Amino acid sequence: MSLSVFSHFKLSSRGDSSDGGVVRLISAKDAHTDESIQLKYIKQKTVGTGTFGTVIQAKLIPDHNDQVAIKQVLQDKRYKNRELEILRTLDHPNICHLRYYFYKQEDDKKYTKRTKAPKTYLNLVMDFMPETLYSVSQLYTKSKQRMPRLNVKLYIYQLFRALAYCHHMGICHRDIKPQNLLVDSRTGVLKLCDFGSAKRLVSGESNVAYICSRYYRAPELILGATIYTTAIDLWSAGCVMAELLMGRPLFLGKSSMDQLVEIIKILGTPPSTSCKHSLSVIQKLPRIEPKPLSQVIRTSSPDALNLMAALLQYDPGRRITAIEAMAHPYFDELRLSPTASASSSSSMASMPSLAASSLSSVGGPSLFDFTPQELMIRPDLKSKLVPMFSVVID
């Protein structure tokens, strides 16, 4: 199974090996206390390369079982790195944890004549996860199977939990897609990663519209909105959910405007009230009636279709929020007693279906260990979110 780690990076086809077990010693800082430490690690392999840098898999010393991913990004010293600043404020079981960070200059030996100062790279030392949701879903697609329904619920629920936390802190991820969702298919744990496009949104403040990967881009972004909300992440989440259920992306546009065409083919023409900033564009569009989602995603349950319909709303203000999505009846199966949940998963497909015991096993997904901060997002939903058998962290 692929060891892809961050979506901005192309997977290494060579599977670069380690550098002979060489122990590297580097001065680093704890991401949350800013305490200086001496970090020792052994590089195992390069797992991704791209325009923005490199991702390597490494083992921390002395605990050889402690694997991490080190994301190396070219740093412009004139600016603060937004991803670093955001990750340092986040602490959530469904968000890839930033442990340490350090800066390192490139090797001068690579150059015989230098006209500029050596480039500086920011290194983010993070939790390592063996797969992405994309790589896992591709296994099912290639074997002409659909991901088991309980697996879909487990993964999508954890995505909503991560988004509810981020959005409560005013952070919009702006690039939700399967490649940015790290998973361990053995335990069912999902963690949101790659905050390179993330931003703290300020009400009324203009932002770049050309953001988010095309298949998951909200219609207001396609139509050029520069003032938007965290609701763009919920549209993307709806697209991810549909993709897991269908085995392919729901909207397969070949360009930005073709993406809008593909959306209209299914959801119909946007109402003029949904994107007031693009009223002139909408008024020129042909009037297309929406298709029932049940005709497009035929294998889905009524609850699944209802949730996706609530996410895939043209009007951002009408989209369901992440915390509301967690309380949706679609996820009621997860809120059964552990015994009942295990029983309901017994009919799941075997490749690579999550074990029935993963709902309550050590190292499996912790679905209901809510902090008071999480429950404060919508206190009125607490009775729905917290099952009777669960315990809330004080």
For residue 357, what are the contacts with CB-CB under 8 A and spacing of at least 6? 342, 364
Q: Is 116 annotated as a binding residue?
A: no
DSSP 8-state secondary structure symbol assigned to residue 338: H
For helices 133-142 and 231-246, the axis angle rounded to 10 degrees is 30
363/23 Cα distance (integer angstroms): 29
Structural tokens at position 47: 């797992």
Among 133, 138, 243, 242, CA closest to 179: 133
287/64 Cα distance (integer angstroms): 61
* Beta carbons within 10 angstroms of residue 170's beta carbon: 12
| Residue 303 bears catalytic tag | no
Among 25, 28, 22, 27, CA closest to 42: 22
For residue 34, what are the contacts with CB-CB under 8 A and spacing of at least 6? none
Question: What percent of the chain is helix, strand and coil (3-state, nearest 5)?
Answer: 35, 20, 45
Selected catalytic residue, list 34, 175, 303, 369: 175
Please list the active-site residues. Answer: 175
Binding residues for ATP: 71
